[in-house]
Amino acid sequence: MTSEDQGPAGIDTSVAHPARRYDYWLGGTVNFAADRASGDAIAAAFPRTRTAAVENRKFLRRAVSWLHAAGIRQFLDVGTGIPGAGNVHEVAPDSAVVYVDNDPIVLRYASPLMTRRTTYLEGDLRSPSSILSRAPLDFDRPVGLLLLSVLHFVEDRDSPYAHVAELVDALAPGSYLALTHGTVDHQTPAELEAMAPIMASTPGQFRSHAEVSRFFDGLSLVPPGLVSISDWQPSEPSEPAGSSEPAGPPEALRPTPAEVAMWGGIGAKP
Ligand SMILES: C[S@@+](CC[C@H](N)C(=O)[O-])C[C@H]1O[C@@H](n2cnc3c(N)ncnc32)[C@H](O)[C@@H]1O
């Protein structure tokens, strides 16, 4: 879309939004001038931003494959983003998938993909009860809850830990939480200084490994635990057996934790 585009009626495209900025980094077409300007400013401060976005999508596909191989047939994907290649319903086509996002433009572009099994809801991670009450899933059976690259948009003052706990509490035993989260754990002081202005003007909050670990309280992390997203089950066949995800690149060719700057993992609900 060009900068002249106004966007769909009723959608304010004059202010950058994470869904459209992420779409821009991934090479999508559902983004506008404000999103691209914001995306370029962040990428200038953190040049590996696009690498992180691509690696996050790869994690999504590996994680969903792993969950599917573990028997999960229901997915709740909160902060799903504008539909792109390799969405959950494509990786797990025989499963019920509920996509949730708080940007109305996501619903606009996602509607054509809705099927009997795939549903989109406009909803906010900060209102778990409103998501749970509308999601057409069987909460007596295990669910794969996906919170991928979304929790860093929820600042501590908005109680992210309580919201995640409320979502996890609603899930049956045998459910899983898959989560990725931006971090500056690996950034040098000089890099942090360069990033400071953009971080101050962009809503959200990076978290440390220890802080991200807290989202898994009460859950057991599956191997290899909470790690850099590129290092989460990258090359070995996914366990349990049966995953269709092809072997990943050898370690030397994978982006380093500092380049990706995102922690990710899957926790099992006992
Ligand atoms: C970086 S994208 C991640 C998309 C997808 N989960 C992935 O990992 O590829 C973040 C998405 O979270 C959405 N988002 C941000 N804050 C949210 C909130 N409080 N509730 C629901 N969605 C939110 C944004 O609109 C955006 O689509």
Averaged over 5-23, what is the pLDDT? 82
Cα 77 to ligand 1 centroid, rounded to whole Å: 9
| Ligand 1 pocket, Cβ-based, cut-off 6 angstroms | 18-19, 22, 56-57, 60, 78-81, 101-103, 106, 124-126, 148-150, 153-154
CB 183 within 8 A of CB 74: no
For the stretch 82-134, pLDDT in tens is: 887 789 999 999 999 999 999 888 888 887 777 889 999 999 999 999 999 99
Asked whether residue 199 is assigned to any structural domain, the reply reads yes
Asked whether residue 109 is assigned to any structural domain, the reply reads yes
Q: Whose CA is nearest to atom 8 of ligand 1?
A: 148
Asked whether residue 119 is assigned to any structural domain, the reply reads yes
Q: What is the pTM of this model?
A: 0.90
Name 104's bridge partners. none
82 exposed, middle or buried (CB, 10 Å; 0-12, 13-18, 19+)?
Answer: buried
Asked whether residue 76 is assigned to any structural domain, the reply reads yes
What domain count does the chain have? 1
Asked whether residue 6 is assigned to any structural domain, the reply reads no
CATH code for the domain of 129: 3.40.50.150
Which of 49, 130, 153 best tests ligand 1's pocket when mutated (most atoms within 8 Å of CB)? 153
Asked whether residue 156 is assigned to any structural domain, the reply reads yes
Report CA-CA distances (Å) from 115 to 108, 110, 225, 261.
15, 11, 34, 35
The residue segments making up the domain with residue 140 are 18-234+252-268
Q: Whose CA is nearest to atom 16 of ligand 1?
A: 153
Asked whether residue 222 is assigned to any structural domain, the reply reads yes
Closest residue by Cα to residue 63 from 155, 144, 182? 144
**pLDDT, mean over the chain:** 89
Percent of the chain with pLDDT over 90: 65
For the stretch 219-229, pLDDT in tens is: 999 999 999 99
CB 87 within 8 A of CB 66: no
Q: What own/partner pairs with CB < 8 Å and gap ≥ 24 does 209-213 have?
A: 209/183, 209/185, 209/263, 212/151, 212/179, 212/181, 212/183, 212/263
Confidence of residue 6 (pLDDT cuts 50, 70, 90): low
Asked whether residue 242 is assigned to any structural domain, the reply reads no
